[in-house]
Amino acid sequence: MFASLKVKDAIADYFRENFGKRPSVDTDNPDIIINVHIFQDNCTLSIDSSGESLHKRGYRVKQGDAPLNEVLAAGMIYISGWLGNSDFMDPMCGSGTLPIEAAMIAQNIPPAKFRKEFAFQLWNDFDPLLWEKVTEPVEKREFRHKIYASDISGSNLLNAQTNARRALVFNKIQFACTDFKNLDIDLDNATIVTNPPYGERLKENDLDGLYAMIGERLKHQYAGNSAWILSSSIDSLKFVGLKPAQRIDLFNGALKCKFNNYRLFEGKEK
Ligand SMILES: C[S@@+](CC[C@H](N)C(=O)[O-])C[C@H]1O[C@@H](n2cnc3c(N)ncnc32)[C@H](O)[C@@H]1O
C-alpha cells in the first residue's frame, strides 16, 4: 500500500500546485485507473485505457461451472484456422463460448460490439467524433455454413442459448441437448473445437472413459473433418486413442493445457 499511497499523494500534490485544488477520488469506482509497476530501481506509471477487462465481451449473462474465457475461445478458433469457410461444431459447448465466438468471427462482428465503454472515453482528450468514425459499422460478412452446439446438460444448453441471443447470433447456431455419444450430424470438411471436462472444476466419474468415447466418435462418425480438443488432463487425452497432428501448449487460466488437433481420416492416413 505504501507505494500506491506515495503515487496518489504525488498526483494530488501536482494538481494542487498547478490548479489550486486536489482531485477527488472515488475509490470504489474510479474514472481513471493508474497502474504502478516497480522493478528494481525503475517505477513505471501507466494509465489503463481499457477499464473493465477486455475478455469481457458483454454478451455473457449465464455461465456454467467451467466457462472458457472468451478471448481464449476466440484464440483457439483462430489457431484452428477456421474463419467461417466451412461448418463448425462444439459437441460439449457448456455456456456456448466457442460457438458464439465462432459465429462472431464468421460474420466479422467486432469483439467489443457489446461493450458499454472503455476507460479512455473518460479522458480529457477523448474525441467522440473520431471514435464514431473508427467504430462505424464494419462490413458484416455473410455466413453460409452451419454452426452446431450441443451439450449433455439441459441447463448448460439453456445458458448457451441465452448468451447467443444476447450476442445476436442465436439464429446462426443449431443447438441440441444430447450426449456426444448419440450425436449424429453429417459433417464434411468441418472444424470441431471442444473443451471437455478436465476433472478439475467439473467432476466426471469416468474421465478416461469419456475421452475414449470422444476418440471413438471422432474416428467413426466424424471422419473427413478436423477436430481440436483443449484439456489439462494429459493422461485422459491419451484415451482419445488418435495420433495428434499438432499439440499446442495453452493456458486456460492457471491450468496448463494441451490443444490437440486430430485430422480425421477413414482408415489410415497414407
Ligand atoms: C468444460 S465444460 C465446457 C465449457 C464451455 N467451453 C464454456 O465455455 O462454457 C464441459 C462441458 O461438457 C459437457 N459434457 C460432459 N460430458 C458430456 C457428454 N458425454 N456429451 C456432451 N456434453 C458433455 C458438460 O455438461 C460441460 O458443459
Per-residue pLDDT tens digits for 161-218:
999 999 999 999 999 999 999 999 999 999 999 999 988 755 666 999 999 999 999 9
* The predicted structure's pLDDT at residue 183: 97
Q: What is the dihedral of CA 21, 26, 31, 37, to 10 degrees?
A: 90
Q: How far is the CA of 96 from the centre of ligand 1 (A)?
A: 10
* The predicted structure's pLDDT at residue 201: 59
Domain containing residue 6: 2-47
State the CB neighbour count (10 A cutoff) for residue 48.
14
What is the rounded average pLDDT of the residues 223-240? 96
Which residue's CA is the nearest one to ligand 1's atom 18?
A: 179
Rounded Cα gap, residues 161 and 141, in angstroms: 22
Pocket lining: 158 vs ligand 1, CB cutoff 6 Å: no
* The predicted structure's pLDDT at residue 74: 97
pTM for this one? 0.86
183, 91: one domain: yes
* The predicted structure's pLDDT at residue 270: 57
Helices 97-107, 70-80: axis angle to 10 degrees equals: 60
Q: Report whether pLDDT(120) > 60.
A: yes
> What are the pLDDT digits (tens) for 30-66?
888 899 999 999 999 999 999 888 888 888 887 767 8
Q: What is the dihedral of CA 15, 18, 20, 21, to 10 degrees?
A: -10
Q: Between 134 and 87, whose confidence is greater?
A: 87
Indicate if the alpha-carbon torsion angle 239, 68, 162, 110 is positive or negative. Answer: negative
| DSSP-derived secondary structure letter, 176 | E
Give the residue from 160, 184, 182 showing the smallest Cα distance to 173: 160
Which residue's CA is the nearest one to ligand 1's atom 13?
A: 92
| Atom of ligand 1 minimally distant from the CA of 160 | 9
Pocket lining: 51 vs ligand 1, CB cutoff 6 Å: no
- For residue 105, the domain's CATH number is 3.40.50.150
> What are the pLDDT digits (tens) for 60-102?
887 767 889 999 999 999 999 999 999 999 999 999 999 999 9
- Is residue 95 included in any domain, yes or no? yes
79, 188: one domain: yes
- C-beta of residue 38 within 8 angstroms of C-beta of residue 23: no
34, 83: one domain: no
170, 244: one domain: yes
Q: Report whether pLDDT(27) > 90.
A: no
Q: What is the dihedral of CA 42, 48, 54, 60, to 10 degrees?
A: 130
If pLDDT is split at 50, 70 and 90, which confidence band does 130 have?
A: very high
* The predicted structure's pLDDT at residue 252: 95
- Is residue 127 included in any domain, yes or no? no
74, 109: one domain: yes
Q: Report whether pLDDT(150) > 80.
A: yes
DSSP per residue, 87-126: -EEETT-TT-HHHHHHHHHHHT--TTTT----GGGGSTT-
Pocket lining: 156 vs ligand 1, CB cutoff 6 Å: yes
Number of domains composing the chain: 2
What is the rounded average pLDDT of the residues 115-144? 88
If pLDDT is split at 50, 70 and 90, which confidence band does 19 have?
A: very high
89, 215: one domain: yes
* The predicted structure's pLDDT at residue 66: 82
If pLDDT is split at 50, 70 and 90, which confidence band does 113 have?
A: confident
202, 236: one domain: yes
